[in-house]
Amino acid sequence: MAKIPCDVGTGATIIGRMKVGFFITCLVDLMRPRIGLAAIRLIESAGFEVEVPMAQTCCGQPAYNSGDRATAQALARKLLDEFERYDYVVMPSGSCGGMVRTHYHELLADDPELSYRYARLQPKVYELTQFLVEVAGVTDVPGRYDGEVTYHDSCAGLRELGIKQQPRALLQHTGAKLKEMAQCEQCCGFGGTFSVKYGDISAAIADEKCEHIAASGTGAVVLGDLGCMLHLEGRLRRRGDTTTRVIHIAEILAGEA
Amino acid sequence: MQVQSMHFKARAGERLADQRLQKNLKKLSTKFVTARAQVVQELEEFEAIRNEAVRRRKAALAKLDVWLERFEREATRRGATVLWAETPAEAAQLVVEIARKHEVRRATKTKSMVSEEMALNKALEAAGVQVTETDLGEYILQINDGEPPSHIIAPVVHKDKEEIYQLFIRTHQLPREPGRVPEIPEMTREARQVLRSRFLASEMGITGGNFLVAETGSVALVTNEGNEGLCTAVPRVHVAITGVEKVLPTLEDLATIMRLLPRSATGQVISNYFSLLTGPRGAGERDGPEHMYFILVDGGRTGLLGGDFEEMLRCIRCGACMNHCPVYQKIGGHSYGWVYPGPMGSVLTSSYVGLEQTLDLPQAATMCGQCHVVCPMKIPLPDLLRKLRERQFERGLRPWPERLGLRVWGYVAQRPALYRTLARLGVRVLRWMSDDGRIRRLPLASGWTDTRDLPAPAGKTFKELYAERRR
């Protein structure tokens, strides 16, 4: 059952380009596949080879946050099996990134073998913008954007992974003019299953964010997580705002916004 | 206090619809959040103090029994009486007995959340003791038929000036200029006049205790109004009530933590008043009570020691977690249904009154993590909430459709071929249901679509598109 974790750094890697295992995330797979393709283009254009293990499903966060530890553990193990052979694991989400990079440790702590394997995987896991800035060191991106945008810091990316400057630095390369909104670090109210269990509270929190986005006067909000994205876009439209654009960071960087 | 946490959803819904409350709750983010950010930024060593305070608090809790016994010895040696209560109800009974013993008919009281656990005012009134809340916020709630506080340090944050003035008109029989609502300082003066006679007539002062100091047997009281001074200097009897977890070994511990408390709570560098009280009036001393009692309440606290939720005992009741909580900011404290609201309250209520009565509390959080960021004691509140969710799941306390849904989803997510097939099917159905790029109503997911559109999926999954691209 245990794959030898040491096939990282074998011949192919040394001679060829570093290999990135791309974790699609379940929401990108289902709702916005373009974002996944855009992210892959960005990683490739930064000089990495990308592979997408097709058996992947979900990082397990919905189970973890719902208290179903056994399912979360099973999915963590599955991800470990599928991704430990890569030089890097990259995902277009701070939420999934936070789950894999900061919560798996506690989740797998009871199993010494899995803990050992995870300890080797953990430092290779990156959220997309973090990877592009900290690992790839990109100084340019394919996308160009002529206009103003504001940026929403997603909670897990910001507080679990420390993602703050990376997306802003990358945005600069597109020519987009960043105008910060008030309280850009405040939660948008999505919160995973919270958004369905307490839809009215969730929407009321989103309203604050919608108002801050509107007050920024940019007409476009860029962010790095599908959950916040669907939630905010859904609330904006329901409020009758049909023009404010909600753009994933991968789309704007890849020139697809 | 009676637990109402099972009505969380309905109560939160009412509060969301209350426009006036929504406006009042904005004070939290504009006042406390901004002020805290400012003072934390100004104190370069804030993080270092925080680490040190956490270390000291952990050390105190690691030998809680030792420090409590030391406290009892030192307080007793200085003439105070230390009493122990296993439950809040027992604690209330002890206060009633003290009042009887000293023939007390009128008492004044400072703000104390433990006294809310005890439903102390009701117990005293039933025993024929007139008790007056002297914290302005608590006084306002008391004259509103004993309304419970909605915040642990700003109990009346949910009310505006006009609402409070209406209560003053109803309660204080004073001549009024019709149609004019006075400014806040004028209203404060009015309350002060009313309270002054109560202070002077008081035979027993009841206070909480922000901290106990073991090495001196003292109680530390933090206020912004100075009412704790009058409550403890004038009456014959002083009763300080607090939870057993509040004991600190030394004055140095107290000094360290006091650098964090006002900053985290209200964004003040230091509170307006601070009292450190040790023993009753001594021979030759001119003021202070003749009798001093401590009532140390367990109320479920020691049950947390050595378990998954022990870290919660570090809490110093600053309220920063609720001030910064996006959920609390929208629904206010009353929705939570017991004494303590917000993130810390969701953990404490579930722990102290039982998970069966608090099905919503661990769930009603976005897990945004801001409470953990601002907690001066670095309590990992989101992790504790998640652990409570795990307990709910293990004990089958969540509703069956949720458990079934989770089970089905978990089964599918572990079977890639099945997952892929269902995903392909699912996105097509959703696409078919959409109109103009959005889905306005979705059976089984009305929790989402009642308040938001669901942006339509692209119609093909990423895996499909990726496979096509590689072909």
Structural domains in chain A, sorted by start: 5-135 (3.40.50), 148-254 (3.40.50)
When CB atoms are compared, the residue of A34, A54, A238 closest to B452 is A238
Mean pLDDT of chain B: 96
Which pLDDT score, from 0 to 100, does residue B443 have? 86
Name every chain B residue with its beta carbon within 8 A of the beta carbon of A200: 12-13, 16, 450-451
| A204–B16 C-beta distance less than 8 A | yes
Confidence of residue A6 (pLDDT cuts 50, 70, 90): very low
Q: How far apart are CA A183 and CA A186, in angstroms?
A: 5
Which pLDDT score, from 0 to 100, does residue B395 have? 96
Kindly state the average pLDDT of the residues A62-73.
97
Which pLDDT score, from 0 to 100, does residue B351 have? 96
pTM of the entire predicted model: 0.95
When CB atoms are compared, the residue of B366, B420, B458 closest to A189 is B366
Name every chain B residue with its beta carbon within 8 A of the beta carbon of A30: 423, 426-427, 457, 461-462
When CB atoms are compared, the residue of B366, B406, B469 closest to A191 is B366
Residue of chain A nearest B445, judged by CA positions: A196
pLDDT exceeds cutoff 60 at A15: no
Domains, chain B, ordered by start: 43-302 (3.40.50.10420), 312-394 (no CATH), 400-470 (no CATH)
| B330–A205 C-beta distance less than 8 A | yes
Kindly state the average pLDDT of the residues A112-132.
98
Tell me how far the alpha carbon of residue B414 is from its chain's centroid.
Answer: 40
Residue of chain B nearest A229, judged by CA positions: B455
pLDDT exceeds cutoff 90 at B171: yes
Kindly state the average pLDDT of the residues A86-99.
98
Q: Are B96 and B127 in contact (CB under 8 A)?
A: yes
Q: How far apart are CA B260 and CA B262, in angstroms?
A: 6
When CB atoms are compared, the residue of A28, A71, A208 closest to B462 is A28
Q: Where are the beta strands (DSSP E) in B8-134?
A: 81-85, 106-109, 130-133
Cβ partners under 8 Å of residue B6, min gap 6:
B337, B357, B358, B359, B360
Closest approach of A58 to chain B, Cα-based (Å)? 7
| B386–A64 C-beta distance less than 8 A | yes
* Half-sphere exposure at residue B458, Cβ-oriented, CA atoms within 13 angstroms: 17
pLDDT exceeds cutoff 90 at A1: no
Q: Which of A27, A201, A230, A246 to mutate to test the interface with B (most CBs of B within 10 A)?
A: A201
Name every chain A residue with its beta carbon within 8 A of the beta carbon of B464: 33
Which pLDDT score, from 0 to 100, does residue B106 have? 98
When CB atoms are compared, the residue of A32, A71, A183 closest to B410 is A71
Which pLDDT score, from 0 to 100, does residue A5 have? 39
Radius of gyration for the alpha carbons in chain A, expressed in angstroms and rounded: 18
- Chains A, B: CB contacts under 8 A, how many? 189
Q: What is the pLDDT of residues B317-360, one digit of tens each?
A: 999 999 999 999 999 999 999 999 999 999 999 999 999 999 99
When CB atoms are compared, the residue of B29, B368, B410 closest to A155 is B368
Mean pLDDT of chain A: 94
Name every chain B residue with its beta carbon within 8 A of the beta carbon of A52: 463, 466
Kindly state the average pLDDT of the residues A1-22.
58
Confidence of residue A59 (pLDDT cuts 50, 70, 90): very high
Radius of gyration for the alpha carbons in chain B, expressed in angstroms and rounded: 26
Helix (H, G, I), strand (E, B) or coil at B297: strand
ipTM of the complex: 0.95
| A234–B452 C-beta distance less than 8 A | yes
Other beta carbons less than 10 A from residue B284's beta carbon: 5
Q: Which of A24, A29, A99 to mutate to test the interface with B (most CBs of B within 10 A)?
A: A29
